[in-house]
């Protein structure tokens, strides 16, 4: 598995053949994304979830997306250090991957790495992100269930809404719930979730779970909520919808990357002459973009409304 994920990260030429072989074996894992601001306890919560799922006899894989080193470009491995108590468990596989500057909190290689772990027969795959910012909510497009972790004193409810986490969270965890302000954080989240659910008319009632992950408090309740959400996904048909959307985004990303690679070999998507024409005012950017589209597709772009 480690070698296969390395092939994924390196974009090895054999990757299409590998993915073709793995495809029939994937689709059985419950992919859970954990996200939240740095410092809220994502790694501690992940380690606690590993133990809880193992107690239930489930095989668990963890894909921990670490910030890239500005010098080597590799992962700093901070997440794996926090999960070292599970290192000798044959039912647990933990892999740190570098974000390599990719925005959205996830590595560009994450979707294919998830397919490797899924095909390997793990029951649960936990994906821990670098940490969301104002718009880094990509984890929701990669997971069956998205868990947003917050902590008292890490920002008010309005800041949470600005970050977009209310829209992506299937479950919310108020970690470090033994701190002052935990009750206020839970109340604010529940109120804003209720308002959001009215607007979106969703059937799933988004729970807010209190935890103190360092002590294991609240982790059994969190696992029960995760399994309840997985059951709801299957019964409502939302699971197949989410996975289809995930596949669509993967296909588009791979197709665009390959297109850029091929055009790069031919001198690039935008020629130097076309760029110079825009810079000198001979043509505008929209007309230039239409020329690029026509060159790639072989036909003129349809007029915009």
pLDDT for the residue numbered 163: 55
Please give the angle made by the CA atoms of 66, 69 and 70, to the nearest 5 degrees: 135
Q: Is residue 253 part of a domain?
A: yes
pLDDT for the residue numbered 73: 42
Q: Is residue 244 part of a domain?
A: no
> Do 262 and 216 share a domain, yes or no?
no
pLDDT for the residue numbered 64: 85
Its sign, for the CA torsion 189, 191, 193, 195, is negative
Task: Tell me the pLDDT tens digit for each residue of 216-228.
Answer: 999 999 999 999 9
Q: Which DSSP symbol is given to 303?
A: P
> Do 152 and 286 share a domain, yes or no?
no
Distance CA 108, CA 105 (A): 10
> Do 161 and 291 share a domain, yes or no?
no
pLDDT for the residue numbered 131: 63
Question: How many CB atoms are closer than 10 A to CB 24?
Answer: 8
Distance of CA 248 to the CA centre of its chain: 15
Torsions phi, psi for 185 (to 5 deg) = -65, -45
> Do 14 and 134 share a domain, yes or no?
yes
Q: Which of 205, 248, 212, 200 has its CA nearest to residue 228?
A: 205
Give the domain extent around 53.
2-236
CATH of the domain at 45: 3.40.50.300
Task: Tell me the pLDDT tens digit for each residue of 69-100.
Answer: 433 444 444 445 556 666 678 899 998 876 54
pLDDT for the residue numbered 90: 84
Q: Which of 111, 115, 110, 94 has its CA nearest to residue 27?
A: 115
Domain count, the chain: 2
> Do 254 and 149 share a domain, yes or no?
no
pLDDT for the residue numbered 111: 85
pLDDT for the residue numbered 263: 74
Q: Is residue 256 part of a domain?
A: yes
Cα 48 to Cα 30, 83, 160, 245: the distances in Å are 17, 9, 24, 30
> Do 122 and 267 share a domain, yes or no?
no
> Do 115 and 187 share a domain, yes or no?
yes
All residue ranges of the chain with pLDDT < 70 are 66-87, 98-108, 130-140, 154-165, 196-202, 264-267, 300-305
Q: Output the 3-class SS for 264-290.
A: HHCCCCCCHHHHHHHHHCCCCHHHHHH
> Do 99 and 195 share a domain, yes or no?
yes
- pTM, two decimal places: 0.82
Residues 6+ apart with CB under 8 A from 154: 37, 39, 40
> Do 33 and 91 share a domain, yes or no?
yes
> Do 224 and 271 share a domain, yes or no?
no
Distance CA 83, CA 60 (A): 12
């Amino acid at each position: 598995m480690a070698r296969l994920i390395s092939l994924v990260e390196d974009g090895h030429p054999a990757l299409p053949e590998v993915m073709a072989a793995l495809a029939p074996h994937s689709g059985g894992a419950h992919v859970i994304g954990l996200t939240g601001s740095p410092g809220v306890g994502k790694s501690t919560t992940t380690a606690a979830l590993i133990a809880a799922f193992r107690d239930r006899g489930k095989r668990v894989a963890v894909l921990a997306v670490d910030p890239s080193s500005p010098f080597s470009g590799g992962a700093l491995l901070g997440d794996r250090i926090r999960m070292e108590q599970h290192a000798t468990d044959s039912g647990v596989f933990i892999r740190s991957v570098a974000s390599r500057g990719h925005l959205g909190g996830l590595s560009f290689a994450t979707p294919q790495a998830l397919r490797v772990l899924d095909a390997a027969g793990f029951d649960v795959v936990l994906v821990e992100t670098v940490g969301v910012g104002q718009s880094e909510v990509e984890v929701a497009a990669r997971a069956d269930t998205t868990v947003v972790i917050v902590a008292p004193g890490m920002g008010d409810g309005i800041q949470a809404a600005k970050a977009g986490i209310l829209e992506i969270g299937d479950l919310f965890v108020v970690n470090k719930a033994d701190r002052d302000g935990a009750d206020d954080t839970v109340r604010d989240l529940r109120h804003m979730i209720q308002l959001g659910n009215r607007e979106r008319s969703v059937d799933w009632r988004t729970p807010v779970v209190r935890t103190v992950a360092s002590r294991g408090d609240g982790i059994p309740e969190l696992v029960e909520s995760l399994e309840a959400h997985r059951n709801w996904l299957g019964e409502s048909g939302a699971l197949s919808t989410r996975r289809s959307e995930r596949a669509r985004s993967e296909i588009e990303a791979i197709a665009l990357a390959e297109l850029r690679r091929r055009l790069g070999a031919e001198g690039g998507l935008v020629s130097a002459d076309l760029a110079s024409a825009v810079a000198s005012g001979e043509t505008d950017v929209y007309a230039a973009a239409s020329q690029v589209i026509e060159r790639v597709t072989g036909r003129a772009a349809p007029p915009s409304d």
